[in-house]
Amino acid sequence: MTDDPAAHQLFSKYYYHQGGFSGDYARTAESLGYYGAMAQRIKQDVNPGSVLDAGCAIGLLVETLRDRGVQAYGVDISEYAISQVPAALRPYCRVASLLQPLPPDWPPRFGLVTCIEVLEHLPLEQAEAAISNLCQVTDDILFSSTPGHFGEATHFNVQPVDFWIERFALHGFTHDLEFDAGFIADWAVRLRRSPDAAPRVIRHYEQQLQRTRQEARSLRQALLEQRDHLARQEAMLDSLRESVLSQTDNLVYDITGSQAWRVAIRLWQLRQAVAPNGSRRARLLRPLASILRAIWPRPKPS
């Protein structure tokens, strides 16, 4: 990705298997499935006749695009990465820097360029040169570059999305606000050459502004309605709680004020006077109480 010979060493076998990734970056069923889904979206949503994958690594996107009938090519600075490309794909994946012209036996222009998590690996001056080269070979770019991953040792140029959009705008490319590139990354964008950039971009930004305002108003209204609903539910619960407490108090009052309660209390007092708990009389009465419970008919529930 740079002309610096040290760059080849940065993106060695160690980088792909231990240094730059959370796990192995290899040609597995899982990785082919991931890039296959991305290739399918590119084929479905963009439908380019040809694609250049700038920073293709081991060629997974090139492979899955070709599986779908797209004439895809890829370049990468890493000799190790290109050595891992399957033999059948080697003519379409080459060791090359984005600062250099494309191989002379390749198409001079492409329907689409994909540049996915690449330019943050280049110092600023080299990144701007790479952007210039990419803009010369296409009118359509799918681009992503992490705006917040500062911990990776090879991330020399982590920038917010608007920084990159401005850099591409200097070459006549503008952000296509109607295209959702979220299937690549949350910060991915589609950039297209726009001869009439200013009027069209102003219109698109106004459309997005109005849509965002409408969504905000709708969400605010929904939140207010939810708040009112919760307030009504809370008031209902408070009313039920007060009703239950009142009924409980009334029930306790009715029970403790009844003739049956007074008889029960008097019997308990009499029992305590005749046979206090723990006394010999209480122990003698215990078997008799068991017999009475066994033979005494229990009232049926009404």
Q: Is residue 43 part of a domain?
A: yes
Instruction: Point out the domain boundary residue: 195, 224, 244.
Output: 195
Q: Is residue 299 part of a domain?
A: no
Give the pLDDT of residue 11: 75
Same domain, 211 and 274: no
Range of the domain at 77: 5-195
Give the pLDDT of residue 127: 96
Extract the tokens encoding 77: 């600075």
Same domain, 163 and 82: yes
Give the pLDDT of residue 302: 55
Instruction: Point out the domain boundary residue: 171, 195, 219.
Output: 195
Q: Is residue 298 part of a domain?
A: no
Same domain, 189 and 274: no
Distance, CA of 38 to CA of 24 (rounded, Å): 19
* Closest by Cα among 216, 218, 236 to 228: 236
Buried b (16+ CB within 10 A) or exposed e, 267-287: eeeeeeeebeeeeeeeeeeee
Give the pLDDT of residue 207: 74
Q: Note whether 155 and 109 are within 8 A (CB).
A: no
Q: Is residue 295 part of a domain?
A: no
Distance, CA of 159 to CA of 208 (rounded, Å): 23
Tally of structural domains, the chain: 3
Q: Is residue 189 part of a domain?
A: yes
Same domain, 40 and 166: yes
Q: What is the CATH number of the domain that holds 146?
A: 3.40.50.150
Task: Flag residues of the chain having pLDDT under 70.
Answer: 1-9, 12, 14, 17-24, 197-200, 202-203, 292-293, 296-302
Same domain, 135 and 208: no
Same domain, 123 and 133: yes
Same domain, 239 and 125: no
Angle ∠(238,241,245) on CA atoms, nearest 5: 140
Q: Is residue 301 part of a domain?
A: no
> Which pTM does this prediction carry?
0.67
Q: Is residue 136 part of a domain?
A: yes
Give the pLDDT of residue 24: 64
Same domain, 126 and 82: yes
Same domain, 249 and 279: no
- Give residue-wise pLDDT tens across range 159-198: 999 999 999 999 999 999 889 999 999 999 999 998 776 6
Same domain, 140 and 180: yes
Same domain, 162 and 232: no
Same domain, 162 and 207: no
Q: Is residue 294 part of a domain?
A: no
